[in-house]
Amino acid sequence: MDLAHVYQRTVDPNGTDSLARLARWITPGSTILELGPATGYFTRYLTETLGCTVDCVEYSEEMAAHARPMARTMIVGDLDQFELGALFEPSSYDYVITADVLEHLRNPWRVMELCRPLLKPGGRFLISIPNVGHAALIAELIAGRFDYRDEGLLDRTHLRLFTRKSVLEMLQRCGYRLRDLDRVEWMPEQTEFQRDIEACPPKMRDYLLAHPDSLTYQFIVDAEPGEMTDDEIEQWLATAQGPSDPYFIAKVYWGGPDEPLNESRCHRQPVQIRAERNLIRFDLPDDQPLATVRFDPADRPGYLDVYRISISEIDAAGNVLNSLADIDTPAALRESSRRVDLIGGDDAGGLRLTSVSNDPQIWLEPGEPWRPTPGNRLRFEAELSWPRSADYLVAARQYEDTFNRLRRECDASKAHATELERALAETRTKLQASEQHGAKLSDEVQRLAGYESRCKQAESMVNEIHGSRAWKMITKLRRMKQLILRK
C-alpha cells in the first residue's frame, strides 16, 4: 500500500460532509473503536468535543504518531491481518467507526464480522464509504479515463468499490441490519473529476443523471447487529434518488486581511434550475475577520437578475443577529462592490446583469474587516435568477412559439376528436336502432312468406276445384236455375 499521501481533514459539526454526519449520530461520552483514524482529525473531535473514549487501529505508523495523543489505545498494523477479538474485549464499545476505511481493505467482510462481537448490546457500526456509481466517475469512463488519485473515489489505495446495493449486501452478509442510510451529494463539477455534465449531449446527460445515486459521492451508514431481509434491502434500494434537474454552480470565496483568495477558502453550491428566483446561502468560517468576499454568481455567459446580496452575523443556532451588508438596488451594487465580467445593472427596476464569461465575479471589500463576535459566524446570501444566455432566450422564444402552435393544433385536434366521437356515438345509436328495425322486418318477411305459401296452396286448391267435372256440372245447373228464375 502506498503511504506517501497523508490524509488530513477538519471536522465542522455544522457541516454536511461525511464526518459531520457521522458525528451527529454519536452520543457524547461514548466508548468508541475507530478503525483507520489516519492523523486523528476525527479522533480529536470525538475526544475533545464529544468527550468520548476512543481506541484506534491504524495501518501507518506515521499517521498513528499524530493520532496517538488523542486515543486511549493505539494499535498499529494491518486490519486484514489482525484478530480484533484478541485485541479488544467483547461487548465493550458503543460504536465501531470505519470512516472511509473498508474500501482500502482486501477483505472488508472479515473485518466487519470481527467487529460485531465487540459492540455492546444496542451498539452501532458507523460507516462512510464512497459510491463508485457517481455520474462524474462514469463520465470519466465514457471519456476513456480511469486515473487514480491521492484521494477521492479513485484513491490509488482503494481495493474495493461499492454501490448502494453492494453496501447493503455486505451488511446483510456480515450480520448487520441497517438503521439509517444518509448520503453526501456532490455535483460532478464539485468532485475531483471536474466533469462538466452540462456540456454533454442532452441524452447522455439525462442518462448519466437519471440512474439512482448518480450524484451520491459517499454513503453514510448506521447499522446494528441483526438480520436484514431481502425485502428490507429492496426497500432501501427504492430510496435511491434521481434524476437530477439541470443546474448551475455558484461560488463564494473569502479571505482575511492580506490573505489571497484560493480554492481552499471557497464554498460551491449547485443551484437547480427550477424557479425564476433562487436563494443561495453560504455560512462562512467561525470567528474569522473577513476583508474580502468574492461571489461568482454563475458558471456561464448570459443574463441574470440579482435581486439581493447580504452578509449577516448569525449565532450558533443560525439566528441573524446583525446585518453587515444588504444590497438590493442597482445603486447599492455599484457603490458597494466591484464587478468582473459583469456589465449592466443600470435598470432601476432590477439588477439585470450580463455575464460575458464563464467566471463572472462580484467583489465585496468593506472599509474595515467584518468581525463576528466570538462564537458567531458570518452568513452570505444572494437571491438571483438563473443565468439565461442569449441563444437560450432565442431558443426559448422559438420553443414557446412552437409550443403554443402545437398546443393550438392539439386543442383543435381534441375538439375535432370530440366531434367525431359524438358523431360516432350518434351513428352507433342509429345503427343499433336500424339493427332492431331490421330484425322486426325480418320477422315480418318470414310471416308474409308463410301467408304467401298458404295463399298459393289455396289458389291451387281453387284451381283444382274449378277444373273438376263436379264443378262444371254444378256451374251448368246454376246457369239453368238462373234461366228458370228469370222466366
Mean pLDDT taken over the chain = 84
Same domain, 69 and 55: yes
Q: Return contacts of 55-63, CB within 8 angstroms, 24+ apart.
A: 55/88, 55/93, 57/33, 57/82, 57/84, 57/87, 59/1, 59/3, 60/3, 60/6, 62/3, 62/6, 63/3, 63/6, 63/7, 63/37, 63/38, 63/39
Same domain, 227 and 105: yes
215, 244, 273: which is the final residue of a domain?
Answer: 244
Same domain, 263 and 294: yes
For 233, the domain range is 18-244
- Does residue 89 form part of some domain? yes
CB 311 within 8 A of CB 407: no
190, 213, 244: which is the final residue of a domain?
Answer: 244
Q: Which CATH number belongs to the domain containing residue 26 in this structure?
A: 3.40.50.150
Confidence (pLDDT) at 377: 86
pLDDT at 287 over 80: no
- Does residue 29 form part of some domain? yes
Alpha-carbon distance values, 98 to 61, 172, 256, 391, 481 (Å):
18, 17, 36, 49, 139
Same domain, 369 and 424: no
What is the C-alpha separation between 71 and 75, in angstroms, rounded? 10
What is the C-alpha separation between 396 and 427, in angstroms, rounded? 45
Grid cell 264443378 is found at 471
pLDDT tens for each residue of 136-163: 888 888 878 777 887 778 778 888 999 9
- How many distinct structural domains can be found in the chain? 3
Same domain, 76 and 182: yes
Same domain, 252 and 287: yes
Average pLDDT over residues 390-414: 70
244, 274, 299: which is the final residue of a domain?
Answer: 244
pLDDT tens for each residue of 403-450: 778 888 888 888 888 898 998 999 989 888 888 888 888 888 888 888
Average pLDDT over residues 355-383: 88
Confidence (pLDDT) at 2: 43
- Does residue 198 form part of some domain? yes
Cell readout for 384 is 438571483
What does residue 124 show for φ and ψ, rounded to 5 degrees?
-135, 150
What is the C-alpha separation between 129 and 147, in angstroms, rounded? 19
Q: How many angstroms from the chain centroid is the CA of residue 449?
A: 79
Average pLDDT over residues 207-228: 88
Identify the CA nearest to 140 among candidates 157, 159, 154.
Answer: 154
Average pLDDT over residues 463-481: 82
The band of 40, judged by pLDDT with boundaries at 50, 70 and 90, is: very high
Q: Which CATH number belongs to the domain containing residue 286 in this structure?
A: 2.60.120
Same domain, 214 and 349: no
Confidence (pLDDT) at 1: 39
- Does residue 7 form part of some domain? no
What percent of the chain shows pLDDT beyond 70? 89
pLDDT at 127 over 90: yes
Same domain, 162 and 184: yes
Judged by average pLDDT, the poorest of 10-24, 172-186, 197-211 is 197-211
Same domain, 34 and 165: yes
The band of 196, judged by pLDDT with boundaries at 50, 70 and 90, is: low
What is the C-alpha separation between 426 and 13, in angstroms, rounded? 73
Same domain, 146 and 45: yes
Same domain, 286 and 364: yes
Same domain, 40 and 72: yes
Confidence (pLDDT) at 118: 97
The band of 98, judged by pLDDT with boundaries at 50, 70 and 90, is: very high
- Does residue 395 form part of some domain? no
